[in-house]
Amino acid sequence: MNSINDRVKKLRKLMAERDLEAYIVLTSDPHQSEYIADHFKTREFISGFTGSSGFVCVTKDKAILWTDGRYFIQANYELQDSEFKLYKLGVEGFPSLIEFLKEEVPARSKIGLDGENVSYSLYRDLIEKLDDRLFMTEEDLIDKIWEDRPSLPSEKVFYHDIKYTGINPKDRINKVREEMKNKGADYYLVTALDEIAYILCLRGNDIDYNPVFLSYVLIDKEKAYLYIDQTKVDDEIRSILNDNGVCVKAYDEIFKDLEQLSGKELLIFDPSTANEKIISKTNQVRRLKETSIIKKFKAIKNETEIENQKNAYIKDGVALVKFLNWIETGVKTGTINEWIASEKLLEFRKQGSDFIEPSFETISAYGSNAAMPHYAPSKFKHSKLTTGNFYLVDSGGQYLDGTTDITRTISLGKLTETMKKHYTLTLKSHIGLASAVWKKGQTGYFLDAFARAPLYKYMIDFNHGTGHGVGYFLNVHEGPQNISYRYSPVAIEPGMVTSIEPGIYIEGSHGIRIENIALCVEKGKNEFGEFLEFEMLSYVPLDTRPVITEMLTDEELDWLNDYNKTTYEKLSPYLTGNDLKYLEESTKKLER
């Protein structure tokens, strides 16, 4: 029997024993992390879908997966041998989860989900919109059928030195206390793992690609409490935390401590990252639901972080140049495939100082595979790099002095005119946003138009956001800012580090994406107000061979040549031999 269908059958048996009409499985952990430890990959286990975003609902006779446009192609492929059907998020004709449940689950029936892995805000939304259904949140049913479930991670945490952070934990915690005082709060509950790592200047190894650790933090007016598996904290870390007013307690003690809070006291928490189970322990206390103030602190990098981040991108650029030179040389031999290429890139990154690990799974995609924005090869499933199409590589590194993320699309051999046109349009889209100037206070929703306008003229679009915040030796995706066609009230402010990554994807043919990371800086101030712009952080040659120069304005061509010239100036001191020759050749001025 198909293993996925067998798992669904076992789940339905448990559902029937509990009189459940439906069971929801999210892509989540108790901290609502984007990337999750293997132990929490319950949605992948039950559905077989390996993408990083999506959720499923199983009823007595249906099994549905919802995911977004980044994964439509991948999901169709991975679900084809199971009974799961794909419902496309945001696409007309596909019901939402709420609509599906209203149709499939009779009134006064029971719906199950794991209360520890659903955010407070999502749970409240479900019970408000499905108020005539009952929700059972006490059990994780997937755990009962996952016989060889990976154990919880147990790696040690380590201190992120002040030479990298520019500040100590006590000062960061006191910034939170200042906000607590302004709100009249007695306690602040921190549930997002990257925010905990940030305020404590600690890093861990509990989740691949993200240097975070499973924990909670509770801050009061005098002390802060770190709830964590105490085997992860050695004497040195415990001493550092103690010196900064932080007491270490067992991970599960958070539930007991929250239950003991006084009814007169005020607790602040973020409903998007706090899970339903933990907030259910605070019913006796006054509560204030707010988007985390730590998100904003973390997003605006200080001078130490910015200078270190620039250094990390130089190291990363050097690794990428060596890699791209290796690709250009090796593809002629016919021996390179996507998996070998991704492993080779990791090898080059490891040569850089302070490199820890990749910042996400490398997207190494040739030809039609690049049309899947989040495609990733494996040792056993990959395509060969040949000629006549694009090779797209989207990758990043975690360094002690920064987190990197960059995408380059390079031409291998002769391309069609359509391919060249799409590459040039993607480049125009990238330049449109990278060179933008805007008035202070504008959001990523406003800035998104700078990138999409050149594509809209040709009735072309891409089905993902244009940019995301980037952490500092933390998560490669961070908020609160983003650049997207979906509305966001968050302004892009000086000190924020954000990606710029438009693309064009043609299913069955090719995919193109060009990504740089940019720092928001002040442009100037006059009688019309304050204006902002982007300063590039990432420098790797942009391939000019597919460019149709007639499609570029003079300003766009100047931007491209200036970027490649600056790339040469920044990276050439660290390269020699054939790598330096490759850099020289790939940054030559492009003429009409």
Per-residue model confidence (pLDDT) at position 133? 87
Tell me if 259 sits within 8 A of 281, measured CB to CB.
yes
Give 7's pLDDT tier (boundaries 50, 70, 90).
very high
pLDDT at 553 > cutoff 80? yes
DSSP 264: T
d(CA 212, CA 298): 14
> How much of the chain, in percent, has pLDDT values that exceed 90?
92
Tell me if 388 sits within 8 A of 414, measured CB to CB.
yes
Packing angle of the helix pair 193-200, 169-183 (nearest 10 deg): 120
DSSP H or E run through 88: strand 85-88
* Mean pLDDT in residue range 311-340: 95
Give 134's pLDDT tier (boundaries 50, 70, 90).
confident
Domain ranges for the chain? 3-145, 158-298, 300-586
Architecture of domain 300-586: Alpha-Beta Complex (3.90)
* Mean pLDDT in residue range 94-122: 94
Say which residues have a Cβ less than 8 Å from residue 453's Cβ, sequence separation at least 6.
432
Say which residues have a Cβ less than 8 Å from residue 576's Cβ, sequence separation at least 6.
none
Nearest Cα neighbor of 474 from 342, 560, 343, 356 is 356
* Mean pLDDT in residue range 153-176: 96
Packing angle of the helix pair 338-350, 303-330 (nearest 10 deg): 140
Per-residue model confidence (pLDDT) at position 438? 98
Q: Does domain 3-145 have CATH number 3.30.420.40?
A: no
How do residues 27-53 score in pLDDT, each as one tens digit?
A: 999 999 999 999 999 999 999 999 889
* Mean pLDDT in residue range 395-404: 98
* Mean pLDDT in residue range 291-295: 93
d(CA 221, CA 394): 44
**Token pair of 241 as six digits:** 């935390």
Please calculate the CA angle 414-410-373 and round it to the nearest 5 degrees.
115
Which residue intervals of 83-192 are DSSP H helices? 97-104, 120-129, 141-145, 162-165, 169-183
Place of tokens 């620039």: 310
Give 193's pLDDT tier (boundaries 50, 70, 90).
very high
Q: What backbone torsions phi and psi does residue 61 show, to the nearest 5 degrees? A: -135, 10
According to CATH, the superfamily of the domain at 158-298 is Creatinase/prolidase N-terminal domain (3.40.350.10)
d(CA 518, CA 444): 13
pTM: 0.92
d(CA 299, CA 229): 28
Q: Is the dihedral of CA 26, 31, 34, 38 positive or negative?
A: negative
- Give the largest CA-CA distance in the chain: 73
How do residues 461-476 score in pLDDT, each as one tens digit?
A: 998 999 999 999 999 9
Per-residue model confidence (pLDDT) at position 115? 94
- In the chain, how many H helices and how many E strands? 19, 28
DSSP H or E run through 74: helix 72-79
d(CA 574, CA 571): 6
**Token pair of 72 as six digits:** 């439509």
Give 1's pLDDT tier (boundaries 50, 70, 90).
very low
Say which residues have a Cβ less than 8 Å from residue 544's Cβ, sequence separation at least 6.
560, 564, 586, 588, 590
- Whether 3-145 shares its CATH topology with 158-298 is answered yes
Q: Which residue has the higher pLDDT, 381 or 553?
A: 553
Say which residues have a Cβ less than 8 Å from residue 141's Cβ, sequence separation at least 6.
11, 14, 15, 23, 112, 114
* Mean pLDDT in residue range 201-214: 97
Per-residue model confidence (pLDDT) at position 263? 82
How do residues 497-542 score in pLDDT, each as one tens digit?
A: 999 999 999 999 999 999 999 999 999 999 999 999 999 999 999 9
How many angstroms from the chain centroid is the CA of residue 503?
17
Collapsed DSSP state (helix, strand, coil) of residue 491: strand
Please calculate the CA angle 343-349-352 and round it to the nearest 5 degrees.
155
Say which residues have a Cβ less than 8 Å from residue 108's Cβ, sequence separation at least 6.
132, 133, 134
d(CA 90, CA 92): 7
| Number of Cβ atoms within 10 Å of the Cβ of 398 | 25
| Number of Cβ atoms within 10 Å of the Cβ of 498 | 26
pLDDT at 229 > cutoff 70? yes
d(CA 136, CA 115): 8
Nearest Cα neighbor of 292 from 188, 169, 200 is 188
Nearest Cα neighbor of 512 from 587, 592, 426 is 426
